Amino acid sequence: MKSDIEESLVLPETVKINEIFYSIQGESSLVGYPTVFIRTSGCHLRCTYCDTTYAYNEGEHLSIEEIIGTVKSYDPQYVCVTGGEPMLQKNIHTLLKTLCDMNYTVSLETSGDKDCSAVDERVRKIIDIKTPDSGEKNKFHQANLSEKIKNDVKTEYKFVICSMDDFDWAEEFCLKYDLFRSSRILYSPSYNKINEKWLAEKIISKNSKARLQLQLHKYIWNAQQRGV
pLDDT for the residue numbered 220: 86
For the domain covering 4-220, report its CATH number: 3.20.20.70
What's the pTM value of the predicted model, to 2 decimals?
Answer: 0.90
What is the 3-class SS of the chain, one letter each residue?
CCCHHHHHCCCCCEEEEEEEEEEECCCCCCCCCEEEEEEECCCCCCCCCCCCHHHCCCCEEEEHHHHHHHHHHHCCCEEEEECCCHHHCCCHHHHHHHHHHCCCEEEEEECCCCCCCCCCCCCEEEEECCCHHHCCCCCCCHHHHCHHHHCCCCEEEEEEECCHHHHHHHHHHHHHCCHHHHCEEEEEECCCCCCHHHHHHHHHHCCCCCEECCCHHHHHCCCCCCCC
pLDDT of residue 174: 97
Confidence at residue 12, expressed as pLDDT on a 0 to 100 scale: 66
Please tell me the predicted confidence (pLDDT) of residue 228: 72
Q: What is the pLDDT of residue 138?
A: 85
List, for the chain, all residue ranges whose pLDDT scores fall below the cut of 70. 1-12
Report domain extents, the chain: 4-220
